[in-house]
Amino acid sequence: MKLSTLTRIGLLTCVGAALPSLFGCLDHPLKPVEYDKAQEEQETVDLAVNKDVDILFVIDNSGSMGEEQGTLAANFSKFIEVLERPKVKANYRIGVTTTDNGNPQCNGTTPEGGKLRLTSCRSRESEFTFTGTNPQTVKFDEACASVCPDTLANLDTIPTSTEDDPEPKSRAWIESIEGKTNLPDGVSTTQAFQCFGPQGINGCGFESQLESMWKSLQLMEVSGSPNFGFRRKNAILSVVIVTDEADCSLDPDYGTIFDPNGNRVFWSDPNSNFPTSAVCWNAGVKCEGGPGTYTSCDPVNKDVDGNEGVPDDQAVLFPLSKYIDLLQTIENDKQSRVPG
């Protein structure tokens, strides 16, 4: 897993806003590397190439994501083509969760809280209706029916075992190991993702991309969780966040920042009846310059009164260090293992 600095701002440029570009990048040809060598004695060195990769998709299921989910599903074949190229032949697992981790303003949703979710979008038509607009926004045809046939409405995985659980069970992820999938005969991994990937648009509009990722990775170590056993000890870990909003990973101890009876310090309009997603941006980002165009924006800890640079335990949004530390711990553990 390659680890780069995470920022809440960086999420705005993730897959949700640039899916065609993402998959276009995957079409670049592999370039051979030429070496010059000089040696007196011929030696043979065996290199172990790690082809195992575990891919976690954290997909935004809020009201504005219908088009993006449909685009992701429609273009997913390009992603799979890269994994299955003769020169790659990856042994991969693909799991999906949502950005819904709950929020004081989202009492009507059913948060996944990082749990892997593997049900056909054809069986969840009601989830592709967003009632927060007038008229209602309906995206079932665009995000699901256009890419997932009705014949796959009850699609499920066939039982397999894992490193941690030798008993064959239907798992909450797609996998292809040495060319063998955990899908019914005649169903490709691309077809499966086109049905499993679309998550609907009735999730919480205050998206917790980072906290959902964190919880999902933690649940992979919890026996009885649908996530258990997904992450293999020696596999490369990749996390793909598909979203069109800034992160809003709220520390529940500070839920009052959304309360109309609170101080409204992060509200874009303190006179409004309801908070907007601007609360999430204002509570976790500091920008220089402006108004209008800003010269820079960076993540920052803020307390309930808007004070900046406070200790992690006073930050209303969970600090980025929480997520960086987890990913770095996973990376360090993988690097300490000897292949073979």
Q: What would the two tokens of residue 122 be?
A: 């054809």
55's enclosing H/E stretch is strand 52-59
Long-range contacts of 15-23 (CB under 8 A, 24+ apart): 15/68, 15/72, 15/240, 15/241, 15/242, 15/243, 16/60, 16/65, 16/68, 16/242, 16/243, 16/244, 17/68, 17/244, 19/68, 19/71, 19/72, 19/75, 19/242, 20/71, 20/75, 23/75, 23/78, 23/79
pLDDT one digit per residue (tens) for the chain, 340 residues = 443 334 554 433 333 333 333 344 444 443 444 434 445 555 555 556 789 999 999 999 999 999 999 999 999 999 999 999 999 999 999 999 999 999 999 998 999 999 999 999 999 999 999 999 999 999 999 999 999 999 999 999 999 999 999 999 999 999 999 999 999 999 999 999 999 999 999 999 999 999 999 999 999 999 999 999 999 999 999 999 999 999 999 999 999 999 999 999 999 999 999 999 999 999 999 999 988 899 999 999 999 999 999 999 999 999 999 999 999 999 999 888 755 4
pTM, entire model: 0.86
Query: What residue spans define the domains of the chain?
Result: 9-16+51-249+318-336, 252-314
Q: Rounded to an integer, what distance in angstroms lies between the CA atom of residue 248 and that of residue 236?
A: 27
